[in-house]
Structure 1
Amino acid sequence: MNLHKSKIEWCTHTWNPVTGCRNGCSYCYARRFIDRFAPHPCEWPDEQLSEAEGAAGCFVSEKPVKLLDESGKYIRSTPYPMGFLPTFHRYMMDYPRKRLIPSVVFVCSMADLFGDWVPDEWITEVLEACKEAPQHAYLFLTKNPSRYMELARNGILPEEPNFWYGSTITGPEDSFWWSDYHNTFVSMEPLLQPFEGVGAQAVKKVGWCIIGAMTGPGSKAHQPKREWVESIVADAKTAGVPVFMKDNLKGVWGDQLLRECPEGIDLKDKKAVAEWDGE
Structure 2
Amino acid sequence: MAQKSEIEWTDATWNPVTGCTKVGPGCDNCYAERFAERWRGVADHPYEQGFDLKIWPSRLEQPRLWKKPRMIFVNSMSDLFHKDIDRRFIDSVFDTMERADWHVYQVLTKRSSLLRNYVGARYAGGPVPRHIWLGVSVEDAAHASRIRHLKEVNSEARFISFEPLLGPIDEVDLHGIAWAIVGGESGPGARPMQADWARRLRDISERDGVAFFFKQWGGARPKSGGRLLDGEEWNGFPWRIVPKSILDALQPENV
TM range (shorter): 0.7 to 0.9
What whole-Å deviation, never above 9, does each CA across 1:56-81 have from its counterpart, x for those lacking one? xxxxxxxxxxx3xxxxxxxxxx2224
In structure 2, what is the equivalent of residue 4 of structure 1? 3
When you count strand as a share of all residues, which structure comes out higher?
Answer: 1
In structure 2, what is the equivalent of residue 214 of structure 1? 185
| d(CA) in 2 for partners of 1:246, 1:268 | 18
In structure 1, what is the equivalent of residue 79 of structure 2? 112
Relative to structure 1, is the Cα distance of residues 251 and 223 closer, same or farther in structure 2, using a 3 angstrom cutoff?
Answer: farther
Q: Quote the sequence identity (%).
A: 30
Matched, 1:196 2:170: yes
Matched, 1:172 2:141: yes
- Which amino acid counterpart does residue 189 of structure 2 have in structure 1? G
Paired residues in the alignment total 231
Matched, 1:13 2:31: no
Relative to structure 1, is the Cα distance of residues 21 and 270 closer, same or farther in structure 2, using a 3 angstrom cutoff?
Answer: farther
In structure 1, what is the equivalent of residue 33 of structure 2? 31
- Which amino acid counterpart does residue 34 of structure 2 have in structure 1? R
Give the TM-score normalised by structure 1: 0.76
Q: 1:184 aligns with which of 138, 143, 158?
A: 158
SS in 2 for 1:253: coil
What whole-Å deviation, never above 9, does each CA across 1:167-205 have from its counterpart, x for those lacking one? 0100112132124621211100011111112xx22x334
Relative to structure 1, is the Cα distance of residues 270 and 141 closer, same or farther in structure 2, using a 3 angstrom cutoff?
Answer: farther
Relative to structure 1, is the Cα distance of residues 255 and 135 closer, same or farther in structure 2, using a 3 angstrom cutoff?
Answer: farther
| d(CA) in 1 for partners of 2:207, 2:87 | 37
Q: Give 1:149 deviation, angstroms.
A: 1.4
In structure 2, what is the equivalent of residue 125 of structure 1? 92
SS in 2 for 1:80: coil
User: Which structure 2 residues correspond to residues 1-279 of structure 1 after superposition, within 5 A?
Assistant: 3-23=2-22, 25-40=27-42, 43=43, 67=44, 78-155=45-122, 159-174=128-143, 175-176=145-146, 177-179=150-152, 181-182=154-155, 183-197=157-171, 200-201=172-173, 203-219=174-190, 222-248=191-217, 250=226, 253=229, 256-263=232-239, 264=242, 268=251
Structure 2: 5+ residue stretches without partners: 219-225
CA-based RMSD: 2.4
Q: Give 1:156 deviation, angstroms.
A: 5.3
| d(CA) in 1 for partners of 2:209, 2:153 | 16
Structure 1: 5+ residue stretches without partners: 44-66, 68-77, 274-279
| d(CA) in 1 for partners of 2:93, 2:227 | 37
Give the TM-score normalised by structure 2: 0.82
Relative to structure 1, is the Cα distance of residues 269 and 33 closer, same or farther in structure 2, using a 3 angstrom cutoff?
Answer: farther
- Which amino acid counterpart does residue 188 of structure 1 have in structure 2? F
Larger C-alpha radius of gyration, 1 or 2?
A: 1
Checking the alignment, whether the CA contact within 8 Å between 1:38 and 1:81 is kept in structure 2 is yes
Checking the alignment, whether the CA contact within 8 Å between 1:204 and 1:235 is kept in structure 2 is no
What whole-Å deviation, never above 9, does each CA across 1:135-172 have from its counterpart, x for those lacking one? 11000111110011111332258711011111010011
SS in 1 for 2:97: helix
